[in-house]
Amino acid sequence: MLAEKFISLRPALYHLTARSNLARIQRERRLYPAADLFKTARRNELSRKRRKGSLTLPIESERVLIRDQDPLHEGNCGLAPGFSFEDLVALLNRQVYFWPGDATKPISYGMNHFGRYAKANEDAVVLVFPTRAVIDANPDAPPRCCQYNSGSPRCVNGRKSPRGPDLFVPMPSFALTPGRVVELTYDAPVDLPWDDVTVRPVSEFRA
State pTM to two decimals: 0.95
**Average pLDDT rounded to a whole number, residues 183-207:** 94
Asked if residue 99 lies in contact with residue 106, where contact means CB atoms within 8 angstroms, the answer is yes
Q: Given a cut of 70, is residue 207 above it in pLDDT?
A: no
Give dist(CA 120, CA 206) in Å, integer.
Answer: 10
* The pLDDT value given to residue 2: 75
Q: Which helix (H) or strand (E) holds 198?
A: strand 198-201
Question: What's the confidence (pLDDT) of residue 185?
Answer: 98
Q: Taking a C-beta distance cutoff of 8 angstroms, is the pair 1, 143 a contact?
A: no
Q: What is the pLDDT of residues 103-150, one digit of tens each?
A: 999 999 999 999 988 887 788 999 999 999 999 999 999 999 999 999
Mean pLDDT of the chain: 95
Question: Domains of the chain: which residue ranges?
Answer: 3-205
Q: pLDDT for 190-200, tens place per residue? A: 999 999 999 99
Phi, psi (deg, nearest 5) at residue 7 = -60, -40
